[in-house]
Chain A
């Protein structure tokens, strides 16, 4: 596959330009942001209603935090690519920018969205759910950070795939779940460690898995994006 050679600075510029474009159009409509916020509030409310006055064990609560994050991100993160197809702007974007700039611009946008989503979810979750107490903040912060990057990376490449299919909405979680499962299992384990008050060293194994997951997913996205993006 021939790639047009260009200096790194232009590549960075066009990546940032795509990121800024997406951010601007998102701030104009606030579709993804409001969908994410409403989704998180709704899910936490459902958890609160179903728990009633009882308190769930800490294990289950750290799992449920990531259930909220997974389904919320499934409702919002596909927008970046789906809107390009819906508005019919995908073709223009193909002409204006190299595939890798498009991928990394959108990845950056999704990353910002996911980080915002996760910070908000964590604040709401720990404010309203009683049994959820973080004891080792260092593990928790690193887990949220690495988890967001991994989630955004996998969600972006799957979003690029489903934007080309007919039934976009239902297909997204179906395709994402098997890909995200290693990440989810690891972050749930790390979150559990942070609520148990484990030492930072005990979570090194989880962090190693998360970092290698991120590297693998970003690399494979970079290599395969050309095939998805070009008609």
Chain B
């Protein structure tokens, strides 16, 4: 209950500030965000797009970790946690893809141009899709949980290859202000950084809250089906 209220206030603050704080050439006050030359006002999307992309990866990794736990202990609760994480991860992955495509339309002139980042998020979407296709194709709960866990581990092991392959094929145009180490790209202004990490934390809290709800609802569903099945 308290988590819900805190999250609600926090997210509203982040969204309002992220959209409404003025962007000026020479910021004088704490509330003025610097205007990044090539990005302009479009930079605001990073307060919303980057957290969703981060969550789609986080959800995938946590789904895999609960999958590994399931394989070790065979506890159905771990499978519920794993599947719930994957379900939320899919939603955030779609959000990240759509917001990214919108931004690309205004920055690069086209919704989709197979930039390395776009390719990797597309592959992540495909993996989520395959994961749910596999789950829906198996009736027996235990078998479904085991095979889904195995598939998510295989997918997670193969994913890092894209980091080596994509740069060989195409150079990315995607801005990388947080992880950037190069001098000419520079780093984020302090107030922007605070807002960005506040948004990241808010979205992660939102993810945790939704995931927790989903797990509890699925548990009830699971127990009810166990009772009905005898």
Contact = CB atoms under 8 A, between A and B. Distances in A.
B150 A185 contact: no
B158 A182 contact: yes
A178 interface: yes
Secondary structure call for the A interface: helix
Given A161-B150, A185-B169, A228-B147, A175 B157 contact: no
Most chain-A CB neighbours within 10 Å: which of B153, B155, B157? B157
Interface residues of B, number: 28
B162 A164 contact: no
Given A182-B161, A186-B165, A220-B157, A174 B151 contact: no
Interface residues of A, number: 33
Interface string A153-180: 0100110011011110001001101110
B36 interface: no
A166 B169 CA distance: 38
B138 A213 contact: no
Given A164-B138, A185-B165, A209-B164, A174 B150 contact: no
Contacts of B137: 162, 165-167, 171
A165 B158 contact: no
B129 A174 contact: yes
B154 A157 contact: yes
Interface string B134-159: 10011100010011011101110110
Contacts of A158: 154
Interface of B: 71, 123, 126-127, 129-130, 133-134, 137-139, 143, 146-147, 149-151, 153-155, 157-158, 161-162, 164-165, 168-169
Interface of A: 154, 157-158, 161-162, 164-167, 171, 174-175, 177-179, 181-182, 185-186, 189, 205-206, 209, 212-213, 216-217, 220-221, 224, 227-228, 231
26 contacts: A158-B154, A161-B134, A161-B147, A162-B134, A164-B143, A165-B147, A171-B137, A174-B129, A174-B130, A175-B133, A177-B130, A178-B126, A178-B127, A178-B155, A182-B161, A182-B162, A185-B169, A186-B165, A209-B161, A209-B165, A212-B161, A216-B157, A217-B154, A217-B157, A227-B149, A228-B147
